Each structure stands twice: as structure tokens, then as C-alpha cells.
Amino acid sequence: MRHPTPARLRGFTLVELLVALAAMALLALISWRGLDGMARAQSQHRDRDEAVLVLQTALAQWSADLDAATNFGNTPALDWNGRALRITRQGIDAQGAPAARVVAWTVGVSSQGNQWLRWQSPPLATRADWTQAWGAAAAWAESAAPGADAAATRVLPAEGWSLGYFRNGAWSAAVQAQALGAAPLPDAVRLQLQLAPGPGLAGLITRDWLRPTWSLTKTS
């Protein structure tokens, strides 16, 4: 009795093998692009979240400095010269005792490009200390590279800024301390900060600060 001869198994042809390899390569490429896109999106979201956190911290410090602005004897609490804002603010010394400080903000050059910068003096005990610190803050803001000063903090990348004051019921350009007259502080300060282009945030930021003791006078 003769047994039937089993059919010989047929393998892939070269063309079929090449087509299969091409399809697998295409699927791998599509998968890689999808993963790369997800990684890029996550990186962009992370950069933006970090930039937002830095901006929020910076604006919180800005508001805290203005909230603490005060006269030190007959000294001005606030002075804007078109480039820097100097503030006399309340604070404490290393022992926790009340003390004044001079704080200054400007946009200037640092080792990392143009930055919004903050300068702070040590605690001040006398009028002479204040006078020296007030002058040092002005000199710092006018220097070629204020970001190199050890007393300065690089806050965030910025290309420029401007300030406005709300006084007598209207907004106007910020002025020097002498122009404020008897009022040590304006009713409000408007900050306009031009952020430098970057992976996180860019463009113009506007932030209004309202003097804590200011109240709206209603007219009938």
C-alpha cells in the first residue's frame, strides 16, 4: 500500500519578505514618531510649567516689596528714574529686629543675557546707612552689567519693562520720588514686563499692584 507523499511546505518569496520588512519598518517609524511627539509635548509642558512657577514667584516678590514700602524718616519710599525702581522697605535684621532695606529692580545684562534683576541692601540702622544704600542701588542699576553684582538676583529673562502710576484717579507714567509730593506711594503701580523669547513663556506681562491702604472714594 502506497502512502501519499506529504505536500512540501512553501516558504516566503524574496519579494514577500521584502514587503514584510518594509511594513515592519514603516510601523516602527510611525511608532517612533508618535513617541517622539509625546516626549516633545511633555517637554514643552514641563518648560511652560517651570516658567509659570518662576514668573509667579517673581511677581510675588515684586508685590511683597511694594507692600512693605515705607518712609525711613523723611526718605522716599519709591523712586523711578526710567530704568530702575528703588524701594525703601520694611524688614528685619539677622536677630529678628525691625530694620529697613533698600531694594532695586531693573532689566539689565547678566551672564545669561538680559534679565529682570533684583538688588537688595543689608539691613539699615541709620540714615547714613540708608543714604549709602540708596546711592549704591542707583549705581548698580546704571552699571554696564548689573547682573554681575553679588547683591543682585537674576529673576527671569526679560527684554524690557515700564511702569505706570495710578494717582488722582488716573493712570500716568511713573515718576521720580519728588514728583509724588506729600504722598509717599501712588495708589497703584502697573508693571509691564516684556519677557524674552524662550521655551516656556514669552510676550508682554502686565501686573497691577494696589496699595494696601488705598480705598476707592465713591462720588454721588
Q: What is the pLDDT of residues 66-107, one digit of tens each?
A: 999 988 778 889 999 999 999 999 988 778 788 899 999 999
pLDDT given at position 219? 41
- Cα–Cα separations (whole angstroms), residue 173 to 83, 108, 189, 216: 13, 21, 10, 21
pLDDT tens track for 139-167: 999 887 787 777 889 999 999 999 999 98
pTM of the model: 0.76
123 in Cβ contact with 100 (< 8 Å): yes
Q: Which uninterrupted H or E stretch holds 130?
A: helix 127-142
Grid coordinates representing 106?
531693573
Question: CA-CA distance, 164 to 127, in Å (whole number)?
Answer: 29
Q: Distance between CA 119 and CA 161 in Å, rounded? A: 16
